[in-house]
Chains A and B, each alone.
Chain A
Amino acid sequence: MAEALMLVQFLNALATAGANILPMLEKVSTLIQKRRTEGRIFTKEDLEALLDEGDALEAAARKQFQDTLSDPNTPH
């Protein structure tokens, strides 16, 4: 019973991870497919545009964590 509960918890956890990760993977998948349909390839420039979005996402997450850390209520 405990193992069945653990499996349910694990699947719930992965489903939550999928909620964030799967859309990102699907976005890349769609772009690769689009390029192939156009008779082109997914280029380094396509990847660089994706990397720029990643840089912005990383900076926003870092700011979120730093803002919380600088709150006096946050335990250290």
Chain B
Amino acid sequence: MKRILAVIALALLLGGCAANLTKPETFIERAAYAEASAQGYIKTLSALTCQKYTAAGVCASPGRPLHPARSVGYLDTLSKARAAAKIAIGMPLTGGECLGQPSTPEACLALASSMLLEVERILTEAQTKGK
């Protein structure tokens, strides 16, 4: 039941957001949206990461549930996603290598998107805990 509610809420929110955005028509435009999402996730990650701890080792700022060591790992994933999108736009249509694997531009951008979704899931969980 929880999963169904979550999917409905996500669909409503994303549907509402997407309605106001210019639809991408080219590969470059799709890559730009992927990069914009990655930048939004970096900002969210930064906002959810504790910046200062008390002498007792407790985070001094409420609503920042992530430890910076974990955030470095998530930032590494976002960095890889951004790298994949960069590689995808420079790759010949016939294909090439994407993060060490044989790939096509489409598959490489899809890999970037899947990494972004993975971080989105983690951030959504962290935000719920931080409330």
B57 sits at the interface (CB 8 A): yes
Contact A73 to B57, CB < 8 A, known contacts A22-B40, A32-B22: yes
A62 engages B32 (CB within 8 Å): no
B2 engages A26 (CB within 8 Å): no
B-side interface residues toward A, CB under 8 Å?
1-2, 5-6, 9-10, 13, 17, 20-22, 24, 26, 28-29, 31-33, 35-47, 49-55, 57, 67-69, 71-72, 75, 78-79, 82, 86, 89, 120, 123-124, 127-128, 131
List 18 contacting pairs A-B, 8 Å CB cutoff, sorted by A: A3-B2, A9-B128, A13-B128, A14-B124, A17-B123, A20-B41, A20-B47, A24-B39, A26-B20, A27-B36, A28-B32, A53-B39, A54-B38, A58-B75, A62-B72, A66-B68, A68-B52, A74-B57
A21 engages B40 (CB within 8 Å): yes
A7 engages B49 (CB within 8 Å): no
For window 32-76 of A, CB contacts with B under 8 Å fall at: 32-33, 36, 41-44, 46-47, 50-51, 53-54, 57-58, 60-62, 64-66, 68-69, 71, 73-76
Taken residue by residue from 1 to 25, chain A's Cβ proximity to chain B (1 for < 8 Å, 0 otherwise) reads as 0010011011111111110111111
Which B residues are CB-close (under 8 A) to A17?
A: 40, 44, 120, 123-124, 127
Complex formed: what's the CA distance from A7 to B17 in Å?
18
Q: Is the interface of B mostly helix, strand, loop or mixed?
A: helix
Which A residues are CB-close (under 8 A) to B32?
A: 28, 31-32, 42, 46-47, 50
Give the distance to chain B from A57, nearest Cβ to Cβ, in Å.
5
A61 engages B46 (CB within 8 Å): yes
Which B residues are CB-close (under 8 A) to A10?
A: 5-6, 9, 124, 128
A41 engages B72 (CB within 8 Å): no
Which A residues are CB-close (under 8 A) to B79?
A: 58
Q: Which one, B68, B78, B86, contacts A68 given CB within 8 A?
A: B68
